[in-house]
Amino acid sequence: MLEALGSVALAAILSGVATARLVELTNSARLAGTARTVATALRLARGRALAAGGSMEVRLDAGRMALELRDGAGALLETRWLPVGVRFIALPARDRVQFGGLGTAQNATITLGAGARARSVVVNQRGRVRVQ
């Protein structure tokens, strides 16, 4: 009987540790996916700016946890929402990234967080986007 009780206690401890680890893995996967989604939206804006020969803008709204793709005239083309549990930690100046008709952009770093983890999406002056 004592051995069975010890086995049940050990199983409970191991399942508690596994549950905590599963939550951490879920947050990490959600954060990585969101960073790729933000990078894709930025690349899409750059591609549209190159194709149209005009400017495109991605506005980042920390309050609504969303990013908006807008054309040079400011017309809203698309809105993407951050998933639950992921938030903006740091945004570029004026909460936007603008791409010119030649694909160039302002330097920008967008930092996303989920739990204790963070990922950054970096845009350089040539308009290249990378996830760190």
Residue 7: band (very low, low, confident or very high) from pLDDT cuts 50, 70, 90: confident
Burial label for 98, CB within 10 Å (0-12, 13-18, 19+), is buried
Residue 18, pLDDT above cutoff 60: no
Domain containing 81 equals 2-131
Q: What is the value of pTM for the model shown?
A: 0.84
Quick check: 14 pLDDT over 80? no
Confidence label for 19 from pLDDT (cuts 50, 70 and 90): low
In degrees, to the nearest 5, what angle opens at C-alpha 12 toward C-alphas 10 and 16?
Answer: 120
Residues paired with 69 in a beta bridge: 58, 78
Model pLDDT for residues 58-115, shown as the tens digit of each residue: 999 999 999 999 999 999 999 999 999 999 999 998 999 999 999 999 999 999 999 8
d(CA 11, CA 77): 52
CATH number for the domain that contains residue 73: 3.55.40.10
Number of domains forming the structure of the chain: 1
pLDDT of res. 92: 96
pLDDT at res. 65: 96
